[in-house]
Structure 1
Amino acid sequence: MHETNLLYLQIQPDFKDCIEDVAAGKLSKEHFYINVQSDPYTLQDEQNIQIFKNKADELTFSKNFQKLSENHYSFALANNPSVNNDEWRVQFITSKKSNKDTQGLEKDYTSLAISHERNSFVVLGDSLGNISVLNNGISEKIKTFDGAHEEEITCLKVFPSNKVLLSGSMDMKIKIWSLDDGGNPRTFTGHRQTITELSLIERGRNFISCSKDGTIKLWECGSGKCLHTFSRKENKYDGIQCMALLSGQNEETTQTANELEFGTEGKKVVAGHCSGVITCHDLYTKRQIFQIPSLFTSPCTAITNFSQNFIVSGYENGTIALWNLNSLERPVKVFSFQKGTPINKLVTYNSKTVFVSSGIDANIVFDITGKDGDYHVEYLVCEDKTIKSFEINQISGDLYVAGSQGLCSVYSI
């Protein structure tokens, strides 16, 4: 099985300040570093980038580094023994907006969701069980739900109406919140371990939740009832760390729809288990459709739908795999990023681009459909912090991220 190693490049967190000091004439010259690593434990190459002005008073960089725009910079690794290509181009992307709420530094933001409109509002869940709603510019808090949960908030979803919020937590509870008046009209209980993910079905009359207790539950919001509990047939206690909702053709069945189910026909859910196994269940027929064995001997920590017939999975050992659901014998492509460090989160965009978060300041964007040996990788710079959650605004293309030490930023991809 061929595996492509995606390099881990780390740039000095304050490199923009270094550039601005020279540009403004505060310093005649300055420098910053770029580390080139195949894993977080082995430094293969450190390159020192010099900044100065030439005779024409133009800002100049050494080592094939250049500024493309206000928040985009490119760097070419020429004749570097760490890579196969003679010239391996990468791009660093810095946030166009960052939340400067210093009070947030004492806590980690652990989950994030955005509204479904151009002028998105942002919802953040933190390690203390609080929920904050920020404006589109992430500069102002619109509303807070202090003590929303008793423990860390692990997942959030905004309903398509943009008036209702769903939250899941390590306290094993799921709650619905009114974004208008702050009310909590319903709390869902039944899971016996941490809630790890939530997915709304169509407009949200039904939703699914998964948990480290090994179950996926299908709920109906109006009644608060759990309509069905899914688990892996071979091991019902195999914890679930992530899931993704898929849409496709209906399976042949003679059963009639539950009167409390809305939009479950043709819907399937794939789940990543602590064992590394991936299972798929049909929400309408309630059948387990397939199971992908644990090929990488590592827990599956992240999963995302890539297109109608493809999914991407991430693992605790830093492996990323692209799967064709019509041919599951082996993955289509396998990548390694930050070996030995868990993949925190995966999100896809435009059916070709994958956003990956792994460890401290190791966040990349790349075209997973590219030709072998020719993957253009972009790095999101977030000041030595860990991105715990991110979501892309499908209208504007902006990427919203949240993470450790109060990290909340917006990137223009």
Structure 2
Amino acid sequence: MSVSNRVPVISVQCDWDEVLRKKSGEAWVSCKFRGETGLHGKLFSRGQTDEGTPDVRGSDDFVVGKVTSSTLEVTYRPTGHKCVFISPRTVYTGIHKKSVVSLAVTPNGLSVSACTENKLQVWDANDGMLRRSLSSHVGDVYKCRFFPSGVVVLSAGADMLIKIWSAETGQCPVTLSGHTGAVMDVCIVNRGRNIISVSKDGTAKLWDCGQSACLGTLIKVDSTINCCSLGVANNKLDLGEPDEAPSEREIGTEDKVLVIGCEDGGVHVVAVRSRKTLFSFMLSSAINCVVVVSDNEFLVGCHSGEVLLYAFRENCNTPIVSWFESNSAALCLLPYKARGFFVGKADGSCIYYRIPNSGDGDHLDTRLHLTGPDCDPVYDLASDGTAVYTACRDATIRKYEVQNVILDVFKS
């Protein structure tokens, strides 16, 4: 296993971007290695530079680098570790009144989000205007996603149902039932004629949306399945053959693999067409999130706070890389551009990591943090292809312009 360099979590006051705009503004900053006492300092604003950006200096061993209207670079001098903080470009506070638990955004700016008040809202990310509310679930909605068309919504929740909606009319022509426990997560196969769901009942099921029918159970385990992610298999995996000829209603599953993460720490990789479990392994912590990042690799986020990168190959139970910088639970993962991903955590932090290439040591001591939440968990992440959005317990959705910052920091 290749463990990432021992890197601290550098944190800053959540409203730094507002405080440091003021002359004589002051914000706290800290540096903490996991398992050790944190080191604290202050950031002081001395007004504006000639370019109109805050002129900020740090106390103790905190050195302030480049500052813009939305970014703040801080280096902890004794170790050379650097963090670039990014404040939200837009903050949406009127869409929900309770914790936002799931979120999806299309490239055209149409958004859907769900909260613990059992509200499923379709809204416009360009102006924050509510388009319509989707009301039919009985109980909390745990997951909402867009189909590739960008005008059809998939939702699932505590009522053990999966629903398909028109985002344009708000109608729900399809309801899928068959789970005996809450539906925790969903995946869409190709263009969406088939979908996959996972549940507290320990099953992953494949569905035919057109006929509202279950095409089969992909796996049954003795634990709640918390999360799933679908990917395309590489040539290192023998996907096997199905025991029975698949239904003609099963479309596009022949090269697909499903990764599931369980409450008991189990991770299972399943060939969708053959229903064969290709490999499994157990971790010591509940699995809160998984995501396929390529046909060669997938990420696992643990309740312990650890994030692990694994390879798609048979009998693979040793991670390629482990990031374990805090004990705060990893709640959601979002691949972003080539060789990078965001992880949202229970302490309100949202951090961007680079996946190192073989022999690549560049930027392993650099992190990007999306700021704004004041210790409120970040439950979900989404992207419209450029900007990144976060769903938070404080009932707020935040939009961050990150693409140019990442290009500038990592020069790739």
TM-score by length of 1: 0.87
Partner in structure 2 of residue 144 of structure 1: 133
Partner in structure 1 of residue 18 of structure 2: 17
Distance change >3 Å, CA 286–CA 2, structure 1 → 2: closer
For the residue of structure 2 that corresponds to 1:405, the secondary structure is: coil
AA in 1 matched with 2:26: H
Partner in structure 2 of residue 33 of structure 1: 28
The answer on whether the counterparts of 1:129 and 1:148 sit within 8 Å (CA) in structure 2 is: no
Distance change >3 Å, CA 157–CA 320, structure 1 → 2: same
Within 2, Cα distance between the matches of 1:78 and 1:124? 41
TM-superposed CA distance for 1:191, in Å, is 1.4
Within 1, Cα distance between the matches of 2:282 and 2:14? 40
Distance change >3 Å, CA 331–CA 180, structure 1 → 2: same
Partner in structure 1 of residue 353 of structure 2: 366
Distance change >3 Å, CA 166–CA 46, structure 1 → 2: same
TM-superposed CA distance for 1:138, in Å, is 4.7
* Unmatched runs of 5 consecutive residues or more in structure 2: 403-412
Within 1, Cα distance between the matches of 2:383 and 2:55? 34
Does the alignment pair 1:309 with 2:296?
yes
Q: Residue 89 of structure 1: which of 56, 69, 82 is its match?
A: 82
Runs ≥4 residues deviating over 6 A: 54-58
Partner in structure 1 of residue 409 of structure 2: none
Within 2, Cα distance between the matches of 1:61 and 1:351? 32
Does the alignment pair 1:120 with 2:109?
yes
Does the alignment pair 1:194 with 2:182?
yes
The answer on whether the counterparts of 1:10 and 1:361 sit within 8 Å (CA) in structure 2 is: no
Deviation sequence 1:231-253 (CA, Å, 0-9, x none): 24xxx222211111011257353
TM-superposed CA distance for 1:157, in Å, is 1.4
TM-superposed CA distance for 1:2, in Å, is 5.9
AA in 1 matched with 2:205: K
Moved more, 365-374 or 92-101: 365-374
Distance change >3 Å, CA 351–CA 72, structure 1 → 2: same
Matched positions, count: 387
**Aligned pairs for 1:212-227 within 5 A:** 212-227=200-215
Within 1, Cα distance between the matches of 2:119 and 2:112? 11
Partner in structure 1 of residue 381 of structure 2: 390
TM-superposed CA distance for 1:386, in Å, is 2.1
AA in 2 matched with 1:227: L
Partner in structure 2 of residue 132 of structure 1: 121
Deviation sequence 1:48-91 (CA, Å, 0-9, x none): 11111499898532222244432121111101xxxxx3x11110
Deviation sequence 1:94-153 (CA, Å, 0-9, x none): 11111132x73x4111100112x3x221111111211111113252111112x4322221
Deviation sequence 1:303-353 (CA, Å, 0-9, x none): 1112111111111111111111226141111111321x3210111122410
TM-superposed CA distance for 1:403, in Å, is 1.5
For the residue of structure 1 that corresponds to 2:103, the secondary structure is: strand
Distance change >3 Å, CA 377–CA 57, structure 1 → 2: closer
TM-superposed CA distance for 1:42, in Å, is 5.8
- Output the aligned Cα RMSD: 2.3
Partner in structure 2 of residue 288 of structure 1: 277
TM-score by length of 2: 0.88
Moved more, 243-252 or 156-165: 243-252
**Aligned pairs for 1:2-401 within 5 A:** 3-4=3-4, 5-22=6-23, 29-39=24-34, 43-53=37-47, 59-63=54-58, 64-79=63-78, 85=79, 87-101=80-94, 104=96, 106-115=97-106, 117=107, 119-145=108-134, 147-232=135-220, 236-248=221-233, 251=239, 253=241, 256-294=245-283, 297-326=284-313, 328-339=316-327, 341-369=328-356, 371=360, 374-384=364-374, 385-394=376-385, 397-401=386-390
TM-superposed CA distance for 1:284, in Å, is 0.8
Distance change >3 Å, CA 54–CA 160, structure 1 → 2: closer
Within 2, Cα distance between the matches of 1:307 and 1:130? 33
The answer on whether the counterparts of 2:280 and 2:317 sit within 8 Å (CA) in structure 1 is: no
The answer on whether the counterparts of 2:17 and 2:70 sit within 8 Å (CA) in structure 1 is: no
Within 2, Cα distance between the matches of 1:208 and 1:78? 48
For the residue of structure 2 that corresponds to 1:183, the secondary structure is: coil
Give the percent of matched residue pairs that are identical in Structure 1 and Structure 2.
Answer: 21
For the residue of structure 1 that corresponds to 2:21, the secondary structure is: helix
* Unmatched runs of 5 consecutive residues or more in structure 1: 23-28, 80-84
Within 2, Cα distance between the matches of 1:283 and 1:148? 30
For the residue of structure 1 that corresponds to 2:195, the secondary structure is: strand
For the residue of structure 2 that corresponds to 1:360, the secondary structure is: coil
AA in 2 matched with 1:198: V
Deviation sequence 1:259-285 (CA, Å, 0-9, x none): 111111101101111221211111111
Within 1, Cα distance between the matches of 2:49 and 2:216? 72
